[in-house]
Structure 1
Amino acid sequence: MNSRKLLSETRRTFPATKAHCQQPSRILIVDFTSPSWASTCSVLSEALENTLCLVCGLAGPCRVPLLSLYVVQPQKECLLPFTQVKENFARIQACISELRSLPAEGCFPQGGNGVVQAVQDGLQQFKQYSRHAAAGGSTNSSVEITIFTSQSSKEMVKQMEKKLKDVDLVSLRRIQVIEILKRDFLEPEGVEQCVPAEEHSSSDIAILGMDIDVQTVEDNVISLEMLFKTWLHDYGTEREQLHLLLPSGGFSHAAAPKSTIMCLKCDLQERLLDPALLSGTADGTARAGYPSSLWHVAAWPATGLHKLRVVKALKSEGVCESVLYGLPFIIKPTSCWQLDWDELETNQQSFHALCHSLLKRKWMLLAKHEPQNTSPNWNTVVHSYYIIVPSDSATLLVKAVAIRELLLPSTFPALLAEHPERVCGPIESALNSLEVEVAYNPLHLKSNLYKYLKSSLYKPPHRQPTQPREQRPERHQPKQTQSRAKAAVAPLLMASSPLQTFRPAAARRHSCEHSPLPKE
């Protein structure tokens, strides 16, 4: 995934208000006016379906609370009005099936008008939905818009700059313009493409007092899936999540006293999803829905400020892998918007210096977790300890490390220096037959988890048994009244009619030949 700067200077803007520990709602706009969208439509739909089955299958707070989907061909059409993602996978799956069936050969005139209209309509619909939700006691005050197109992202940004001047953008947190690039060559059938897992960067374009991310991505399932999975990260930036406490290290007598500490303000980011939070998986469901235990650094989302006090340094070669446990977390310098710019910059530079020094010394850090609750009810405080590992990037990795009470006795017999040839020969032959890779890439392995989640989450619509004609009650209301109940909000002036929300795919003349059932 690549990105490029479209303006000579970029500007960081800080929002005036933030939702408290709340994920933004999502508006997805798919631009079908570009040529040769048949293959792109297929991989985009598969990547979106894969990500949303994870969202629906994860226990705990929903990471994508609301979703709305628009297509532009060339006029905008709302395939899915704002819908709560959890408990609605069947409806979302039906919408994705309709997305697959759309004409996708670029037979429409290009231009940014339809996309801008979809942005305006989505914002108006979100404002109305938020008004209804606030009346019911729930709040969701921010929304992000993601636009997929094969047109020039530079031209699309210019269109938005012209036509969004008079639109209320208070609730809009960010716009992403994703320009999808075609592959230079086609991979053989059945061969899955391998792309770097972490090539995710963006350029922020400051227009209209807000930021627009412009990115380019290849049109394959893995690249698009990794982009959609960024929705699963914690987007709360109203405060830092971790304080990393280091000794001051003064060298002169005039330096600060020994009690003075250096505090690096950091954020925590998940590296992996916890399999125990996926409903019905083989790893067990006993922990699903439960808060993180005493031995874990953070749950999702971060519920409070964590403090890790560094107690000593360790040689990297002196840490045994068998005493590390639990899911890893990535530590980054904080991006908390409440800190002033100078403090953010100084904090980031200090963090980078720490990463560089640890890497140069080949050190790890041993840190003690400071208790969050100092209530008098806690007669005894149980401390947990963590190992902080540097890398060649500007991040640190933190994992829980075993303590005396948890460690079990083990015996490790010494390895013999020599072995009989009759034993070594078959073993060497077996090892020589294995394919050797330079590095492990998790994108090479599939466990059928998506297929399992889709089948377990899919709930076919309930059909009532048919009654004889003479026993059927008379209908005093027209059929259109029942169809209107499908819309999440009342029809808007700019929004398409809810009667068009779920059209039969067979009604389209130029529909792609895709099965309405989910595919893996």
Structure 2
Amino acid sequence: MNSRRLLSETRRTFLATKVQRQQPSQILIVDVTSPSWTDTCSVLSEALENILCLACSLTGPCRVPLLSLYVVQNQQECLLPFTQVRENFGRIQACISELRSLPREGCFPKAGNGVIQAVQDGLQQFKQYCRHIAAGGSTNTSVEITILTCQSSKEIVKQLEKKLKDVDLVNLRRIQVTEVLKRDFLEPEDVEQCMPAEEPTNNDIAILGMDIDVQTIEDNVISLEMMFKTWLHDYGTEREHLHLLLPSGGFSHATAPKTTLICLKCDLQERLLDPSLLSGSVDGAMRAADLNSPCQMAAWPATMLYKLRVVKALKSEGVCESVLYGLPFIIKPTSCWQLDWDELETNQHSFHVLCHSLLKRQWMLLAKREPQDPGANWNIMVHSYYVIVPSDSASLLIKAIAIRELLLPSTFPALLAEHPERVQGPIESALNSLEVEVAYNPLHLKSNLYKYLKSMLYKPLPRQQVQPRDQRPERHQPKQHSSRAKATVAPLLMAPSPVQAFRPAAGRRDGCEHSLSPREYEEFLQ
């Protein structure tokens, strides 16, 4: 517990100097030196393309503002300079196509420090980008780095600790080192085997307050998709999202003054992506995510603090599913860095006790949303109600529940006890023929959504811009990389390391070897 407290205090002190108000940009570094890269490439490319087509299609605030992609072979190579993800799916798809072509060149020797050099290069490029947008009046953003490797994650972390201790990390929010474990070939329909066998093993390491997360995942499309989908979550920790208010004396109104409340500070997290955000209708999407709607809450982005007052306990068997509506959200104890460690710890224990007690009693909670501004008496506040459901995990599920004004009349006739055999026989036979699953697994169902979104986003590049990798000119010849995205800012001058000093210049495409003259800089930005 002491080490966790030290890590938390280190992180809190560092984050206090840089409040994050936007989703971070992403740098993906792919180590292709593994002998199994040919197999890994196909699943990685499919997973990356699937998630980025989602990110490009989501309306509302952008969840992945910028993306840069590096590959590490015998040296680092920037396939995609920092590019806005939204409205640039064609460029991203061209980059992924080039990533798919890498196995044709065969296996590469171990990259040595190539991964670390790619991290340093990406950070320097992002620093230059931040200077550029700051000059244009925009606020600086933060960046996260994801490293995919088949090397030992512990060795990568050791190198990061050594090389980054003197580097300016003010814009860096997190580094995630993901070790990809190669498994035996899995049939596509064997979805059960495609799921990770257990939760990824995460370890937090603090470098100047910045987090390094270490995890291992299996080499399949679903595992990689789930890892990339973490980019779509809002992990801002500047403030808590929700205050859950409980009467201090239990549920007996005789012993609990109404003015005395227990406040559990919580965060909201999406359980599902809102399908209306993919409909292409901006108006409909904004209505679905409207933070001011009296009957809805939004878990992303967390721009306001919600207050829910628990008014009653409900027996679990007494709640009919037909009166629940809207998307479910997950409630977790807050991880807000501005709270003291002791308060965070007490709040977490209180939350766990609440979950355990609700499960033991087989209760749900009925909660009423409190007004944002209690002093504004001239406005009529429409109260919305929610039901809070416990689970075996350390989290609660929340869904909106029907109110009197919205409820339509309905009658439910009683079931007949006896039925004619000529009717009962065929129905029973039909049911007996169905495959029975113990639990519903959404990974068993595919709707072709990815294919549909790709077809809607696909805009083919002009024919002269697309050229197979094996038909391109030799690297020592001048050539135009027209199929790649153009960097938003001019590259910085990087001091060559001892290893870089002996590399032939023509073999590098990371775009950071030479500085530009003022005239070249202006041409670069056009």
Q: TM-score, normalised by structure 1?
A: 0.85
Counterpart of 1:361 in structure 2: which amino acid? R
2:275 paired with 1:287: no
Residue 187 of structure 1: CA displacement? Answer: 2.3
Higher relative contact order (CA 8 A, sep 6+): 1
Counterpart of 1:400 in structure 2: which amino acid? A
Cα distance change, pair 365–107 in 1 and its aligned pair in 2 (3 A): same
Counterpart of 1:73?
A: 73
Cα distance change, pair 420–64 in 1 and its aligned pair in 2 (3 A): same
SS at match of 2:355: helix
1:344-493 equivalences in 2 (<5 Å): 344-374=344-374, 376=376, 378-461=378-461, 486-493=486-493
Q: Percent identity?
A: 79
SS at match of 2:338: coil
Residue 140 of structure 1: CA displacement? Answer: 3.4
2:15 paired with 1:11: no
1:124-135 equivalences in 2 (<5 Å): 124-135=124-135
SS at match of 2:56: helix
CA contact (8 A) 2:200 2:217 kept: no
CA contact (8 A) 1:205 1:212 kept: yes
SS at match of 2:302: coil
Residue 413 of structure 1: CA displacement? Answer: 1.1
Counterpart of 1:138?
A: 138
CA contact (8 A) 2:91 2:484 kept: no
Residue 209 of structure 1: CA displacement? Answer: 4.0
Counterpart of 2:268 in structure 1: which amino acid? L
1:119-162 CA-to-partner distances (Å, cap 9, x unmatched) read 00000000000010111122233111100000111111111122
2:122 paired with 1:122: yes
Residue 462 of structure 1: CA displacement? Answer: 6.0
Greater shift in the superposed pair: 22-31 or 158-167: 158-167
SS at match of 1:491: coil
* Greater helix share, structure number: 2
Cα distance change, pair 244–279 in 1 and its aligned pair in 2 (3 A): same
Cα distance change, pair 377–52 in 1 and its aligned pair in 2 (3 A): farther
Residue 302 of structure 1: CA displacement? Answer: 1.4
Counterpart of 1:221?
A: 221
CA contact (8 A) 1:128 1:489 kept: yes
| Distance across 2 between alignment mates of 1:197 and 1:245 | 37
Counterpart of 1:122 in structure 2: which amino acid? G
CA contact (8 A) 2:186 2:194 kept: no
| Distance across 1 between alignment mates of 2:212 and 2:41 | 24
Cα distance change, pair 182–116 in 1 and its aligned pair in 2 (3 A): same
Residue 279 of structure 1: CA displacement? Answer: 3.3
Residue 452 of structure 1: CA displacement? Answer: 0.5
Cα RMSD after superposing both structures: 3.0
Counterpart of 2:522?
A: none
Greater shift in the superposed pair: 323-332 or 37-46: 37-46
Counterpart of 1:372 in structure 2: which amino acid? Q
Counterpart of 1:327?
A: 327
| Distance across 2 between alignment mates of 1:435 and 1:482 | 52
Greater shift in the superposed pair: 53-62 or 95-104: 95-104
CA contact (8 A) 1:491 1:497 kept: no
Residue 207 of structure 1: CA displacement? Answer: 3.8
Counterpart of 1:80 in structure 2: which amino acid? L
1:375-434 CA-to-partner distances (Å, cap 9, x unmatched) read 748531100000000001100000000000000001111100111111111011100110
Greater shift in the superposed pair: 128-137 or 308-317: 128-137
| Distance across 1 between alignment mates of 2:185 and 2:109 | 27
Counterpart of 1:204?
A: 204
| Distance across 2 between alignment mates of 1:401 and 1:189 | 39
1:93-172 equivalences in 2 (<5 Å): 93-103=93-103, 107-172=107-172
Cα distance change, pair 498–276 in 1 and its aligned pair in 2 (3 A): farther
Counterpart of 1:288 in structure 2: which amino acid? A
Q: TM-score, normalised by structure 2?
A: 0.84
| Distance across 1 between alignment mates of 2:180 and 2:106 | 14
